[in-house]
Amino acid sequence: MDSADYYYHKSLNKFIEIDALVEEGKVNHHLAIIQSYRGNFDKAHEIVDLNLEFFTNEVLDSTMLLRFYSMQAGIHINQTNYKAGIESALKSLELAEKLKNKVRKAHALKDLADLYHYTGNEEQAIKYEKEALAIYEEMNDKIFIANILNDLGNTHYGLGRYQEALEYLERSLPISEEIEAKSLIAITCSNIGKTLVILGHIDQGIVYFERSLQISRHVTKIPRNEVWALKHLGDAYNKLNQPHKALPFLNRAVPIAHSIGIQDDLYGSLQKRSISYELLGNLSYAFKDFKRFEAVKDTVYNIEKTKEIERLTMVFETKKKRTAISPSRK
């Protein structure tokens, strides 16, 4: 990732010299992605916001706006700022439909699915995921086919449909392996692992978590993926009543989650570490982590966020229907 950052900055300086504004925007989009992967969300926001302003007010370019609205939605999702995320995703979807840009429409649908997944409306998430999957399959876009299959696994997991979840995830993994999408391999391995654990195959799940951790720490070096593997390893060893093995993983997960500012990962890591301390008989430390994860939980999710997402989506759908009807009225 460091070498990519170096060469993108080198390209950016060259495009600035020759006043290639669209190419400059494309490079900035990739730089924002790199900052987001690193967990530097404020820096990613800064890049995105500057480019949204530029391509709205200085050089109107709808295609570039699509890129940055989608990127903005993704950053908001990572920061659990779901109200802002839905606004960005709906702007992206509306613009993609206006431009008849199928790929960007699919990306916006995926963002909307993520938002519904994270706020507990799994059925609505599945609806958007399947709509996006149909587009990606039509375009034969393997990276996003694998991505959406992974997401479908996650949403079915959220509904308690664990066998269906495993089937989607096991369809996703070989596609990711075929195209060597290392980050997605790590994510899907974590998701397969947690599904196997809840199905009672804890030892098999641990094998997948360890593979995910190896990739996340030594290959992609993406902190959030590392946190996922660490907290799931901790959870698995807690379930095996081996908290002495769980605790080292969770002690690494908590500070990483805190440093990158992703509240739901911090919540999950603290919750699992509290269980480890309780199993070890260290009730004082267990209670401290319990109080911390309860405080974090309140910032991660509340019913008002879900209501606001549903309201904004309804406004968008109503507007779309009116637009479709209006020509017949003339």
- HEC string for the chain: CHHHHHHHHHHHHHHHHCCCHHHHHHHHHHHHHHHHHCCCHHHHHHHHHHHHHHHHHHCCCHHHHHHHHHHHHHHHHHCCCHHHHHHHHHHHHHHHHHHCCHHHHHHHHHHHHHHHHHCCCHHHHHHHHHHHHHHHHHHCCHHHHHHHHHHHHHHHHHCCCHHHHHHHHHHHHHHHHHCCCHHHHHHHHHHHHHHHHHCCCHHHHHHHHHHHHHHHHHHHCCHHHHHHHHHHHHHHHHHCCCHHHHHHHHHHHHHHHHHHCCHHHHHHHHHHHHHHHHHHCCHHHHHHHHHHHHHHHHHHCCHHHHHHHHHHHHHHHHHHHHHHHHHHHC
Q: What is the predicted pLDDT for the residue at 324?
A: 54
Neighbours of 244 (CB within 10 A): 10
CB-based contacts of 102, cutoff 8 Å, min separation 6: 96, 135, 138, 139
Q: What is the predicted pLDDT for the residue at 302?
A: 52
Q: How far is it, in rounded angstroms, from Cα 242 to Cα 279?
A: 8
Which domain covers residue 83, as residue numbers? 1-108
CB burial of residue 64 (10 Å; 0-12, 13-18, 19+): buried
User: CA 130 from chain center: how many Å?
Assistant: 17
* 171 domain-assigned: no
* 15 domain-assigned: yes
* 32 domain-assigned: yes
Q: Which amino acid is at 122?
A: E
Say what the pTM is: 0.77
CB-based contacts of 152, cutoff 8 Å, min separation 6: 126, 129, 130, 133, 165, 168
Look-up of token digits 């994270």 = 118
Residue whose C-alpha is closest to residue 112's, from 142, 82, 140: 82
User: CA 25 from chain center: how many Å?
Assistant: 23
Q: What is the predicted pLDDT for the residue at 143?
A: 95
Interaxial angle between packed helices 21-37 and 62-78, expressed in degrees from 0 to 180 and rounded to the nearest 10: 10
* 67 domain-assigned: yes
* 90 domain-assigned: yes
- The rounded average pLDDT for each run of 10 residues, N- to C-terminus, in the chain (330 residues) is 75 84 84 83 86 80 83 82 84 89 92 86 93 96 96 96 98 97 97 98 98 94 93 98 98 93 86 95 93 75 55 61 48
CB 269 within 8 Å of CB 231: yes
Q: What is the predicted pLDDT for the residue at 301?
A: 52
CB-based contacts of 248, cutoff 8 Å, min separation 6: none
* 2 domain-assigned: yes
* 33 domain-assigned: yes
Q: How far is it, in rounded angstroms, from Cα 216 to Cα 20?
A: 35
* 51 domain-assigned: yes
Q: How many domains, in total, are found in the chain?
A: 1
Q: What is the predicted pLDDT for the residue at 7?
A: 76
CATH number of the domain within which 3 lies: 1.25.40.10
| Phi and psi based region of residue 214 (left: phi greater than 0; alpha: psi -120 to 50; beta: remaining) | alpha
